[in-house]
């Protein structure tokens, strides 16, 4: 985070929320829906930057987004307060209802910090319902607020995305109808493969052996899968990841283990990342099967583990015709985010869970 960015976590400054005596209901609805509110006087300046910061289109046969902004007004606000993610963006000079909301609900210290250009982001957990987050974006005027959003899009997105991942993870790895996380399977994988990865209740170890350096986890209804593959890494390859190698390697694995699916190279995008201090890339694309005329979205990682001399591919994909793909692709990504190249550390954490 840039040094000039100030993030203030609100604990008690929202006066409309403080002092509620009755128990709060559980938040409802989708975790990828963001109920957003801006004043009409500032909408032309703020809506587009917020959509760029939050929505993030993903590679699917039908266009989808990681998050959907549902724009509201004072007539829909009461309903929005029942949902998981609420966002209000208004400058402290805005003459509209949301500008008044911000001025009314920031305490003196927070308000003075905004006036001085010190604070722009305020966050409150469970303001009207349990498992809910309220985010307020503000600034001295609408131009400054627009500039803040455009220069801090990653900060805004990660705040929302991290919250969503936390909530979905609780469901994904939690117990449902007597079934829970596959800890026995996780232990077996860590002991045999030398790395750790969490396995939700609905996933099975479908294919792969340690000798093949390949592990395939799969769930049905709808179908989604995660595979982990590794090959030896030497110092001359470190941090030198070729996209052509990725496509060639992934396609060859799918030819062996999954009916010849292949990546659509023209759809492949990537960015460089660090994952548990391992350098690598995160990629998104679409897969296709020419013979079956089917396809779906892909998200994955290539990671260089110089300590254990391994280069990993973590790859998640979905086949879910007729339904939204994003929720199931997120399941795959959360499984991959649980990956730990240190099997001993993974087993230690497993024993504590």
Both 22 and 134 in one domain: the answer is yes
Q: How far apart, in Å, are the Cα atoms of 340 and each of 27, 41, 156, 165, 186? A: 32, 48, 27, 17, 11
**Which helix (DSSP H) or strand (DSSP E) does residue 232 occupy?**
strand 223-232
Q: Specify the 3-state DSSP secondary structure of 145.
A: helix
**Which helix (DSSP H) or strand (DSSP E) does residue 273 occupy?**
strand 269-275
Both 332 and 241 in one domain: the answer is yes
Q: Which residues contact 341 (CB under 8 A, 6 or more apart)?
A: 195, 276, 278, 303, 305, 307, 308, 310, 312
Single out the residue in 139, 172, 205 at which a domain terminates: 172
Tracing tokens 């009314």 back to the chain, one arrives at 104
Q: Evaluate whether residue 177 is within a structural domain.
A: no
Q: Which domain holds residue 293?
A: 183-352
**Which helix (DSSP H) or strand (DSSP E) does residue 224 occupy?**
strand 223-232
- Prediction pTM value: 0.90
pLDDT 10s per residue in the chain (353 long)?
443 444 444 433 454 454 455 789 999 999 999 999 999 999 999 999 999 999 999 988 888 999 999 999 999 999 999 999 999 999 999 999 999 999 999 999 999 999 999 999 999 999 999 999 999 999 999 999 999 999 999 999 999 999 999 999 999 999 988 899 999 999 999 999 999 999 999 999 999 999 999 999 999 999 999 999 999 998 778 888 999 999 999 999 999 998 889 999 999 999 999 999 999 999 999 999 988 889 999 999 999 999 999 999 999 999 999 999 999 999 999 999 999 999 999 999 999 98
Q: Evaluate whether residue 41 is within a structural domain.
A: yes
Single out the residue in 145, 172, 199 at which a domain terminates: 172
Both 194 and 160 in one domain: the answer is no
Both 192 and 321 in one domain: the answer is yes
Both 343 and 268 in one domain: the answer is yes
Total number of domains constituting the chain: 2
**Residue 222, preceding bond cis, omega within 30 degrees?**
yes
Q: Evaluate whether residue 69 is within a structural domain.
A: yes
Q: Which residues contact 179 (CB under 8 A, 6 or more apart)?
A: 201, 202
CATH number at residue 248: 3.40.1000.10
Q: Evaluate whether residue 178 is within a structural domain.
A: no
Distance CA 173, CA 183 (A): 10
Distance CA 197, CA 346 (A): 8
Both 161 and 25 in one domain: the answer is yes
Q: Specify the 3-state DSSP secondary structure of 45.
A: helix
Both 321 and 209 in one domain: the answer is yes
What pLDDT was estimated at residue 291? Answer: 87
Both 113 and 254 in one domain: the answer is no
Both 158 and 307 in one domain: the answer is no
Distance CA 127, CA 84 (A): 10
What pLDDT was estimated at residue 78? Answer: 97
What pLDDT was estimated at residue 15? Answer: 45
Tracing tokens 């809910």 back to the chain, one arrives at 132
Both 159 and 222 in one domain: the answer is no
Q: Evaluate whether residue 270 is within a structural domain.
A: yes
Both 163 and 204 in one domain: the answer is no
Q: Specify the 3-state DSSP secondary structure of 337.
A: helix
What pLDDT was estimated at residue 264? Answer: 95
Single out the residue in 131, 152, 172 at which a domain terminates: 172
Both 107 and 193 in one domain: the answer is no
- The string of DSSP codes covering 46-107 is HHHHHHHHHT-EE--SS-EESSEEEE--TTTHHHHTTBSEEEEE--TT--SHHHHHHHHHS-
């Amino acid at each position: 985070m840039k040094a000039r960015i100030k993030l203030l976590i609100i604990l008690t400054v929202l006066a409309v929320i403080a002092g509620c005596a009755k128990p709060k209901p559980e938040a409802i609805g989708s975790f990828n829906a963001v109920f957003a509110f801006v004043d009409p006087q500032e909408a032309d300046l703020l809506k587009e930057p917020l959509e760029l910061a939050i929505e993030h289109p993903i590679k699917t046969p039908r266009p989808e987004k990681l998050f959907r902004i549902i724009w509201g007004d004072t007539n829909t606000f009461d309903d929005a307060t029942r949902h998981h993610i609420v966002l209000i963006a208004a400058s402290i000079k805005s003459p509209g209802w949301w500008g008044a909301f911000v001025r009314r609900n920031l305490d003196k210290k927070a308000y003075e910090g905004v006036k001085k250009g010190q604070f722009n982001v305020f966050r409150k957990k469970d303001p009207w319902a349990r498992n809910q987050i309220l985010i307020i974006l503000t600034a001295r005027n609408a131009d400054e607020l627009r500039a803040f959003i455009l220069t801090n899009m990653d900060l805004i997105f990660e705040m929302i995305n991290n919250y969503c991942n936390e909530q979905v993870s609780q469901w994904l790895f939690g117990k449902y109808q007597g079934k829970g996380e596959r800890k026995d399977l996780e232990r077996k994988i860590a002991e045999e493969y030398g790395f750790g990865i969490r396995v939700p209740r609905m996933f099975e170890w479908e294919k792969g052996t340690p000798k093949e350096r390949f592990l395939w986890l799969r769930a049905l209804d709808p179908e989604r899968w995660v595979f982990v593959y590794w090959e030896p890494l030497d110092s001359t390859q470190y941090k030198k990841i070729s996209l052509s190698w990725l496509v060639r390697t992934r396609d060859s694995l799918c030819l062996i283990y999954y009916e010849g699916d292949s990546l659509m190279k023209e759809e492949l995008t990537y960015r460089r990342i660090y994952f548990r201090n391992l350098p690598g890339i995160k990629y998104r694309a679409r897969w296709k099967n020419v013979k079956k005329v089917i396809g779906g979205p892909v998200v994955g990682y290539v990671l260089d583990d110089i300590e254990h001399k391994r280069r990993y591919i973590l790859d998640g994909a979905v086949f879910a015709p007729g339904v939204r793909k994003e929720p199931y692709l997120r399941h795959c990504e959360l499984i991959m985010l649980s990956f730990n190249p240190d099997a001993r550390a993974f087993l230690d954490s497993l024993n504590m869970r």
